[in-house]
Structure 1
Amino acid sequence: MILDTEPFPRLETKRLVLREVTTEDSNSLLKYLSDEEVMKYYGLNPFQSINDALDEISWYQSIQKNKTGIRWGITLKDQGAVIGSCGFHNSVLQHFRTEIGFELSKDHWGKGIAFEAVQAIISYGFEHLDLQRIEALIEPPNSSSQRLVEKLGFIREGLLRNYEFTCGKFDDLYMYSLLKQDFDEVKNG
């Protein structure tokens, strides 16, 4: 697996630009990551301060530097503000696999933006990072994220019981996966 992401890859779709998140985006992140509904399945408490947003940006930078992931800011082509993010984390280079994560400002829910962004990074992952497997770990009550990944061809493999301890509780997570050959079939199909 190749996780050389220098310079940072800028991706464009019909409506979106996916780009590097910088400290100048901290106010945008704070705006949507302080929303309880956005953070409901994120694994962190809603952000309280600009320092929380700066810590998140620092994490984005560290996973890229350590070659364990990459996180894009989601922006609308006609605007510069980051309205969400998506990317890969917990990448295991020797096994050609990674996990996917995404979130979006509530103001933009239901418009197909998350689908468009996630579709773009999945394509990038299989075509440029030489991935074989992309995983999505989703809490059972998070039906909208389940529908999104299923629409993209992900297969639910099973339930990981008490898999994570976040926000003071143990969470069950569904394990979804998309393999390169599944992606190629859908793409060519």
Structure 2
Amino acid sequence: MSVKAVPILKTKRLLLRGLIDADKKYLLLMRSDPQGNRYIERALAKDMSDIDAHLEKINLGAALGENTYWILQKKENPELMGNICFWNFSPDRTVAELGYQMRTEFQRHGYMDEALKAVLQYGFEILHLKEIEAFTQFENMASIELLLKNGFELQEDRRDQGFPKNRIYIISHKKYFSPQ
């Protein structure tokens, strides 16, 4: 299913890898869950055709170098727990947007924090990004806490056009390599 090889990242408990066919049923569970999508402004997935369209978009973006999309799984279990990605790169490829989502049953166990640390390292050390942006709703306290814990800072002067509930957080290369 994957168009472009996604680098495998490993953490203490997780394996971050590219998409495989077996992920489709779990993507449908995740993208159709009203609770897990309450802070994401998009239509819930209704059936596998919605997932196929989503995967086609991801794979096309990967083929064009427009995204890097990882699936989160426990090292000992290949079941999809969530995803994390870089996308929406700046024209000079020094800035990327971070996206992430976790299936509800895997939230609040520190998995996304673990994955984010690995992805930030990859973004700054391998992709040589200067900044990483994350857009999250002001009501999504778990997401805000995750971003702040990992060195992101709120950009109070910026707004996400068309998404008034979103707030923009950024971490720079400089901040990442010299925290505090």
TM-score (norm 1): 0.87
Report deviation, 1:112. 0.3
Structure 1 runs, 4 residues or longer, greater than 3 Å off: 159-162
Q: Which amino acid aligns with 1:106?
A: T
SS of 2:164 mapped into structure 1: strand
SS of 1:8 mapped into structure 2: coil
Report deviation, 1:93. 4.0
Q: Conserved in 1, the CA contact under 8 Å of 2:33 and 2:44?
A: yes
Q: Conserved in 2, the CA contact under 8 Å of 1:163 and 1:172?
A: no
Q: Does 1:105 align with 2:95?
A: no
How many residues are treated as equivalent by the alignment? 178
Distance 2:66 2:156 in 1: 24
Q: Conserved in 2, the CA contact under 8 Å of 1:23 and 1:57?
A: no
- Which of these residues, 42, 45, 66, is aligned with residue 44 of structure 1? 42
Report deviation, 1:6. 5.2
Q: Conserved in 1, the CA contact under 8 Å of 2:123 and 2:129?
A: yes
- 1:162-181 aligned at under 5 Å gives the runs 163-164=161-162, 170-181=163-174
Unaligned runs of 5+ in 1: 165-169
Distance 1:140 1:73 in 2: 25
Unaligned runs of 5+ in 2: none
Distance 2:88 2:4 in 1: 19
Report deviation, 1:32. 1.7
- Which of these residues, 77, 82, 89, is aligned with residue 87 of structure 2? 89
SS of 1:171 mapped into structure 2: coil
- The equivalent residue for 2:77 is 79
CA distance 1:93–1:23, change in 2 (3 Å): farther
TM-score (norm 2): 0.91
What's the Cα RMSD here?
A: 1.8
